[in-house]
Amino acid sequence: MSIVDPISDMLTRIRNAYMVNKESVVFDTSKARLAILDILNKHDYINSFSTKDGKITVGLNYPEGKPALQLLERISRPGRRVYVKKDEIPSVLSGHGIALVSTSKGVMTGTDAKKLKLGGELICKVY
């Protein structure tokens, strides 16, 4: 089975796993997925992630018994790419969430992209 949009697939699997209170979720590895997971891990939206035999295992985070992620929304899709300039990067939930942007320097949060004065493809919003 070929996945048309592997990033959307990953985000949907994580979102669904949180909805049914799973401890972890597993999917195929890719550089883009690892870059996104690294940011989610740094911001405590997930507990951990590891790779083995071409698979990524993501440990989900439940602080105080509640899912760490409330919303994981894909913005740019293969059929409709959304690009933003440095001044157009949205603030998510008045700064309590993060926007992930794919820039020429790699995948980073919207805040980091603004500091580096970079625009790029708006991947998703997280809070």
Q: What element of type H or E holds 58?
A: strand 55-60
Over its C-alpha atoms, the chain yields an Rg (Å, rounded) of 14
106-127: pLDDT as tens digits: 999 999 999 999 999 999 999 9
Q: What would the mean pLDDT of 65-82 be, rounded to a whole number?
A: 94
Single pTM value for the model: 0.92
Q: Which CATH architecture has domain 72-126?
A: 2-Layer Sandwich (3.30)
Q: What would the mean pLDDT of 92-108 be, rounded to a whole number?
A: 94
Could you check whether 6-65 and 72-126 share the same CATH topology?
no
Bridge partners, 46 (sequence order): 60
Q: Is 88 exposed, middle or buried (0-12, 13-18, 19+ CB in 10 A)?
A: exposed
Report the distance separating Cα 102 and Cα 35, nearest Å.
10
43-70: pLDDT as tens digits: 999 999 999 999 999 999 999 999 999 9
Structure tokens at 105: 């320097």
- CATH 3.30.1370.30 fits domain 6-65: yes
> What confidence score (pLDDT) does residue 1 get?
56
Residue type, 31: K
> What confidence score (pLDDT) does residue 4 get?
80
Return the domain boundaries, the chain. Answer: 6-65, 72-126
